[in-house]
Amino acid sequence: MSSIRRGFLHKPVYLFLLLAASVHAGDGEAGDKTYEWVAWADMLYQDNVIEDSVPFFNVRNVYAGVKGSISERWLYFLLAEYSRDITFDGGESDELTVDRAFIEYRYSAAFRLRLGRVYSPAGIWKPIHWAITVDTINSPIMEDNGYIPNKTNGLEFLGTRVTAHGEWSYTLLVGGVEEEIDNRQTLHEARALGGDLNYLHSDRFKIGLSLYNYSQSEGGKANATGWMPYFETRFAADRFLLRAEYLTLERREDVSARAFYAKLKYRFTPQWYANYRYDYGDDERRQQGTNHQIHTMTLGWQPSDHWKFRGEISVNQREDRLGDDFERWALWTGFVF
């Protein structure tokens, strides 16, 4: 991981020009091999009513990578990320990292292997947590609090099995974590074990359970296990989507945390949708304190396959030491190259 504090990459316009000049999205062929360049970027404006806070307006994320096949059974994927993290007091940090990088062997649909840096198996949101692939601006509370690492380095077993009425999918991951998580503690050479099992019925209803454990090698202070049941359903000709995920995190020091969200999304045209999400968090150890509730309303518009726009407002209600309830609002745009 390397940080970028100054120079031309600090300027948003150069980031977009760099991608436009160097990345050409599309398919390519080289003998029996195929490949595809992928790239997207997004910008964010965000503000809130907290006293002395500073609005954020800048590029938030830029991704560029390549995916392809070496043969019929062997595939590869590499994705780099430039990101800017923000805080309520206006603090910012820049990072250039490898988001994911793995090789994959496909024996069959029911049995595949991945080796490298992959996303951690945890519910529905985390496997699609990139701003360009989700439908809100701010993440659910368990993601903001960083309870489960986003990425894991290791060996992943995964597959699907289709039945007469639906589809079973599984993931088992063994490896390690090098990431800042849960209350800003940084894991170094932490062991990780994760798994997920879910069932999709008629492409309309999904139910699943995820498990993830990490253990710090040095001293064993950072050790936690997270359980996450979840479900998602679509109805009324797929105009409505209802989803809920519930995480229970058990830490070694007997300080547990609970985080939950439920959302209802209504797509009133192919391009426009509205989304409401309720988040709840309860964690004695975190600075945010207990009984943190968030109501988030999002309006989204996708005029083409390349452009996405969102507006969002969230109301935070909390019992903690940081102050009164507060609201924040944001405007976001993303572009897929």
Please give the C-alpha separations between residue 184 and each of 63, 87, 95, 166, 295, in angstroms, as whole numbers: 24, 13, 16, 40, 24
Specify the DSSP element, H or E, that contains 14. Answer: helix 12-22
pLDDT of residue 254: 67
pLDDT confidence band for 193 (50 / 70 / 90): very high
The stretch 169-195 carries a mean pLDDT of 85
pTM: 0.84
User: Using an 8 Å Cβ cutoff, are 271 and 302 in contact?
Assistant: yes
- The answer to whether the beta carbons of residues 108 and 142 sit under 8 Å apart is no
pLDDT bracket for residue 321 (50, 70, 90)? low
Tokens standing for residue 4: 């970028």
pLDDT tens-digit series, residues 158-178: 999 999 889 999 999 999 988
Instruction: Write down all domains in the chain, each with its CATH number in brackets.
Output: 2-336 (2.40.160.10)
Evaluate if residue 154 carries a pLDDT over 90: yes
Burial of 82 (0-12, 13-18, 19+ CB in 10 A): buried
For the chain, percent of residues with pLDDT exceeding 90: 60
**Per the structure block, which two tokens stand in for 47?**
């503000």
- For residues 100 and 117, give the distance between their C-alpha atoms in angstroms, rounded to a whole number: 5
Q: Following DSSP, what letter does each residue of 53-113 receive, concatenated?
A: ---EEEEEEEEEEEEEESSSSEEEEEEEEEEEEE-TTS-EEEEEEEEEEEEEEEEETTEEE
Q: Strand (E) positions, the chain? A: 2-3, 26-30, 33-48, 56-69, 74-86, 92-108, 111-119, 151-162, 166-181, 185-201, 205-215, 223-235, 240-251, 257-267, 272-283, 290-301, 307-319, 326-336
DSSP state of 139: P
CA distance 217 to 146: 19
Phi, psi of 127 (to 5 degrees): -65, -15
